[in-house]
Structure formats: structure tokens, C-alpha cells
Structure 1
């Protein structure tokens, strides 16, 4: 049955609402990994073109440009709508692709359309999930809850790609897409069991434009959050050279795709342990220092890569990369959650994430034309310098802040 009305204040971390949310998001994440690989192979089978696969990814990112407006709308309606309806819509989309794929009638235009529509659903769905979590757990357990979700996500990521590869290779893309479709249906049904808060009446009485301006004002006038779009953009942009150059590095070592796969797996392990350390800290977790520490680790790892380290050192760099990314991303999310008024979470997350998610594709477009003409040392040292300067800037503005920030209060 549907859970309606305002949720009761959570008194403990492991309450029924949080457990349902955790289990549902875990199985849905696994389904998304499976469908990602399946769709890539379906697209490749139809077009025999790697460029078509890249276009599919790009089309899924285009809707991020509308993220701030989508987030504002999320704050004006019940979170039940983007969460439950979003999952059910994705269930229907994947069922259509599954049916056509199993009957050999799928066209590449349909894959492009589904990728775009999935991206469009995500710009409503993602802010809604971030806005929901603070209402499911006690405030003092919010950092621990974020750590648990991050650790679970990394476990799914580590094992999910192996499982997905076996499923797609053994069962084919069609059955794998069906599994993904079912995971969305299950997630939507599970959300019906979660007590989801309703928007405040005074928020609904404002105009859309007034709500948008209010969210922008909250973000742009906060002493630290106003820097979050820049921070998110640069951290995602810094991933672009890594993704672009690592295959070339491992080709040079003679390990090729296998070495690249090990690097990404070890990085995921680093992210997992970083999330587990945040979980262990609980309410002792301090978001602002964590963001700065993550950026420093991130920058030093790029510096290490620039000196062509031995293969065994590459695994250490991969582990530290993952840990640094975990500290930075978890710190940013936690800071936004505790410093943003509850009724504005959707629009503020939408504004930050829309800028953040544009970092990688824009950087790839910028450097792809001349990356082969530059030495790896130059590229990686440049990334290192940018990230370390960003870490210094972040710690400087945090020290200058005079606001009583919950995320750094003793």
C-alpha cells in the first residue's frame, strides 16, 4: 500500500524506510550496470560503430543542461512523483527495447531516443533521491547513511560489471535488458512502501520563477556552497584525461585492457574503503576537511602518474584515486544536505549536479583534438596543479567563512 503524509521523524539509522531505500537502490544500480553493457553491445551490433556508442552516452547527458529547472520542479511536488513515476517510466522504456531486441526489430534511432529519455528522467530522479535521504534518517546519522550508500554502490560496481559481463555474454543483450526493466519496476514498487514527505504548502504557493531564484540565492550567497558548482565541474573534468589516457598507458606496459580493468577495479576498492571509513566516523565526519583532503590526494595521484611509475605503483595510485574521490564526493553531498533548507534540496542539487556533470564531456571535447600531440607528463602535471590549487582555494574559503556551518562545527 502507499505510505502517505509526512514521515515520522526517524529515531534510528536502520529504520524500515532507510532499509527499503537501501535495498531498492542497490538492486536498481545493479540493473543499470547490466543495461549499460547490454545497450552498448546492442548499439555496436546494429551500427558496428564505436562512435554510435559515444553518441548514445552523449545523448544521455544532454538533459543535464535542464537540471536546475528540473530540481526546482522537484521541490514543488511530492517526491513520490519523480521517484515512483520515474522508475515506472524507465521500466516501460526498457521493456520496449527488450521486446524489440529479442525480435530483431530494434533500430539505432530507438536506442538514441531511449538514452535521451533516460537522461531526461534522471534530472528529476537524482535530485529527488538526494532530497529524500535526509528525511529517512536522524540528522546525526546522515553522514553514516551517505557512507553506507556509497559503500554499497561501490560493492555493486565492483561485482556488478563482472556479473553483467557474464549475463550479457551467456544470455545475450535481450534477457539482460529484461533484468534491468524488472529492477526499475521493483524499485518503483519499493518506493511505495517508503514514507515520503510532501512539499510545504507555502512552497507550492510560490511561482516557479520565485522558487528558482530562491534556490539560486541560497546557493550563491552561502560562503561555501557557492563554490560547489566549480568544485564539481573541475573534479569531473579531471576524470576526462584519466579515462582518455589510461588505455594508452596500459598498452605501453603490455597489459592492455586487462591492466586497465585491474586499475579500475582497484580504484573501486579505494572508493569502497573510503565510504566505509566515512560510515565508521558517523557524526564525527567533517565534510569540509574531507573535500580538501580528497582534492589533495587526487592531485598527488596525478603527479605520481606523470612520472611513469612501475606497474605495482599504479595499483597504489588507483587505490588512492578511489579513496580521494570518495572523500570529495561524499563531503560535497553531505555539505549540501546539511546546509540547504530541506524544502530547497531538489533545486540546489539540480543546480550543482548540472554543472558538475558537464565537466567530463566538455573536457573530452576540448582536449580530444590535440591530446595525442601532448606528452602524458604535461597533461597529468597540469591536472595535478589544477587540483592542488583548487584544494588550497577550498581550504582558504572555508577558513574565511564566518557562517556557523554544521558540516565543520565541532
Structure 2
């Protein structure tokens, strides 16, 4: 852990309200998350409306956005453990702003193509990997250990609020000003986030000032971070569970968009509203996570979150054209409620059990295992929709989301009520 007198870290009582640097990071994350949620619906709507995307093309577009998590997370963690995190946050935000800003510019000039959308999705995903690994690794240095749960809860609440507001706003904005102009708002949000990150005053020590790691093999450091996660019985089960749930949810992101637009004939605003209901569940779950952890402990909260999320996925395929909206609404709400219960507890747990020198590599390894499946879910969902139909593909996705529940329940995770002692640097 960093010394308690590092500038920007709360020194006295009052919790995170007395940490202006955390508040800046929180504001930056809130704005960029909202913009991201707007863009994640606006870009597919633009592809469907302007480029007449097929299910397979839409699936590959979703996969392109998350492909970097599968390919780059592990080396990114090793590299970022050698760097200060704040400059990475700034550069990642500014680059994403420029990339997404190119989409409405190309649309206005009449030269927008799938090739550009794929390229923007992949490159923006690269910088998202850098940003996400950096800010989760930066957080334990920015706030005290006893405030980690509070910090992760606040970040999750605003991320959940973004899930609630973003899709609905994207649907409305796409109907009023067009999908291309809506993507432009996403670009502006990253610009604002980057400026807020630049305003953080926390002084980071130079990693490995003694020079001991400079000569070490990058492959060895990547292997050290991945081995830390895989060998820990709690982290490995959490990663396995989250990876399959993410695979299922990424399939549903493509399948639900196709089902609502092409089978049910929903307008853009109603599509956004359905996705926003998942955000409502996120907010309710995030607001409940503190009391739930105090009552159940960390391990049972993680397990309960996984069970509730899987239940929401099971409800979604039960919809039919004649009775679609209630099932979609309930499924999205229930799934959304379970996600923050799982996420806040497991992120706090893994930050607490990991030595400071391994934080970025641990987070990158978890991202690789958990988020790498997102790159597979979109193409898999689109392919299954073309081969078997949209609703059968939704059933397959729901089954995948339920597969990891038994291994998680029969693991050391549910028995963990409090956070273990923080490990030494070695």
C-alpha cells in the first residue's frame, strides 16, 4: 500500500468526501461511462440504419469493440505496472474522443463504411483496456483500504446510472438528432473525462524506482500476474463465473437489439428504454450492495449476485411477440440488479488480496479472463441468430449464463465474510 501521506489520499475522517482527487476520478468515470452507454447503442443503430447491417455484421461489430480485452489485457497489465497510471488515463480518454469523433465526420461526408466502424471499435477498445486496467489499479493508491468498498460502490452506482440513462438517451437522441450525432456526444464525453483526469493532483511514486524490474522479461511478468489469479481458488472461480455470464450477456446485447428492431418492430426510443431498464436494476443493486455485504459478507454477496443475474437471463428468452415488453422489462431489471452485487464485492476482494506491485497485472488478468469472452459473444450471437433464429439463440445464451453457478457455489467464495488481511509487497 502507498504511504498514508501521499497527496490526494484522505488523511482524516470524513471518508471519500475529503478526497478531491477521488471525486475527480469519480466524475471522469461517470461522464465517460454515460457516453459509452450512449455510443454502444448509437453505433449499432447507425450500422442498422445507414449501412443495413446483417446479424453477423452486427455481431462482429460488437466483438470488435471487446476484442482488445482478449488480445491485449495480459501484456497491458505488465506494461502498466511499470508506469504511472494518471497519464495513461488522460491519453486513453483523448484518443477515444478522437476515434469516435471520426464516425460522425465520415457520415457527414458520405464515406462511412463497416471497415471504419470496425477499426474505430478495435482501437477504442485498445484504449478502453488501458483506461480500465489503470483506473482500477490506481484506486487502491488513491483511497485508503478501509474506503475501497465505498469507492467501488460509488463507481458502480454511477456506472449503473449510466446503464440506466445512456441507452434511453441514445434511443431518444437517435430518433431526434440521428445516430451519427449521438455518437458525437460519446466523443465529447471522453474529452471531458480526460480533462477531469488531468486535474487529479495525486502524486504517484515512480514504479520500481530501484530499477529491479527493468531487466525482467515481459512474458515472465505476464505469467506472474496470470498465475496469481489462476492459482488463487477464490479469484479463479470468480473469473470463471464472470467470463461465462459476460459471454451470455454480450450475446444478448446483439440478439435483443435484432429481436426488438426486426422482429418486434420497436422504435429506437423503446429499444433504448428496454436497455435502460437494465440500468435501473444496476442502480437498485448498487444502492443495496452495502447493506447486503454487511448482512451476508463478501463471499455470499458475490454468490447471490451471480444467481440473481442468471435468473434475469433466463427470463429474457421467455418473451414472445404477443407478450414481449413485460418479459424483457423483468429480465433486464433482475439481471441488472444482480450485476453490481457481484461486481462491487468481487472487485473489492481482489484489490484487497493483491500486493501493490501486482495490482495492474492482476486486474489485467481478470479482464482477460472475464472480458475476453465479450469479444466472442457478439459474433456467436449473430451467427446463431442467422442459423437458428433469434429466439433459439437467446435460449442458448441463457443456458451459458447459468453454467458457472455450481462451481461458484461449491468453492471457498461463499464462506468468505470479511476481507482477508492485506498481503505484503512480496
Please indicate the TM-score interval, normalised by the length of the shorter structure.
0.7 to 0.9
Contact 2:225–2:358 (CA under 8 A) maintained in structure 1 = yes
Q: Against the structure 1 CA distance between its residues 268 and 133, is the aligned structure 2 distance closer, same or farther, given a 3 Å change threshold?
A: same
**Aligned match of 1:292:** 303
Closer/same/farther in 2, CA of residues 42 and 293 from structure 1, 3 Å limit: closer
From 43, 58, 66, the counterpart of 1:39? 43
Q: Go from structure 1 to structure 2 and tell me whether the alpha carbon gap of 1:259 and 1:109 turns closer, same or farther (over 3 Å shift).
A: closer
Deviations 1:221-261 (Å, cap 9, x if unpaired)? 3231233331221221332565566679989x979678876
Cα deviation 1:101-139 (Å, max 9, x = unaligned): 333343432222211111111221110011122222222
Distance change >3 Å, CA 180–CA 351, structure 1 → 2? same
Aligned residues of 1:144 and 1:281 also touching (Cα < 8 A): no
| Structure 2 residue 10 is matched with structure 1 residue 10 | yes
Partner of 1:338: 352
Q: Corresponding residue for 1:328?
A: 342
What secondary structure is seen at the aligned counterpart in 2 of 1:28? helix
> Which deviates the most, 99-108 or 14-23?
99-108
Number of aligned pairs? 400
CA 1:213 to 1:354, structure 2 compared with 1: closer, same or farther past 3 Å? closer
8 Å CA contact retained: 1:75, 1:344 = yes
1:201 partner SS: coil
Shift of 1:73: 0.8
Q: What's the CA shift for 1:391?
A: 3.4
Q: 5+ unaligned residues in a row in structure 1: which ranges? A: none
Distance in 2, Cα, partners of 1:61 & 1:254: 27
The equivalent of 1:405 in structure 2 is 420
Matching of residue 19 in structure 1 with residue 29 in structure 2: no
Deviation of the 1:274 alpha carbon: 1.0
Note if contact 1:297-1:321 (Cα within 8 Å) is conserved in structure 2.
Answer: yes
The gaps in structure 2 that reach 5 residues or longer are none
2: CA distance, partners of 1:259 / 1:168: 11
Closer, same or farther in 2 for the Cα pair 1:21/1:10, shift >3 Å? Answer: same
How far apart, in 2, do the equivalents of 1:25 and 1:97 lie? 22
Shift, 1:263, TM fit: 5.0
Cα offset, 1:153, TM superposition: 1.5
Q: TM-score, normalized by length of structure 2?
A: 0.79
Query: Which residue of 202, 224, 235 maps to 1:214?
Result: 224
1:109-124 matched pairs, under 5 angstroms: 109-124=115-130
Larger deviation, residues 32-41 vs 344-353:
32-41
More displaced, 38-47 or 218-227? Answer: 38-47
Determine if contact 2:99/2:120 at 8 Å carries over to the other structure. yes
Q: Which of residues 283, 291, 298 in structure 2 aligns to 1:272?
A: 283
* CA RMSD, Structure 1 to Structure 2 (Å): 3.7
Asked if the contact 1:154/1:268 (under 8 Å) is kept, the reply is yes
Structural mapping, 1:184-195, within 5 Å: 184-194=190-200, 195=202
Report deviation, 1:299.
4.0
**2-side partners of 1:42 and 1:384: how far apart?**
29
2 CA distance for matches of 1:274 and 1:150?
Answer: 9
Normalised by the length of structure 1, the TM-score is 0.82
**Given the alignment of the two structures, is residue 63 of structure 1 paired with residue 76 of structure 2, yes or no?**
no
Aligned equivalent of 1:201: 209
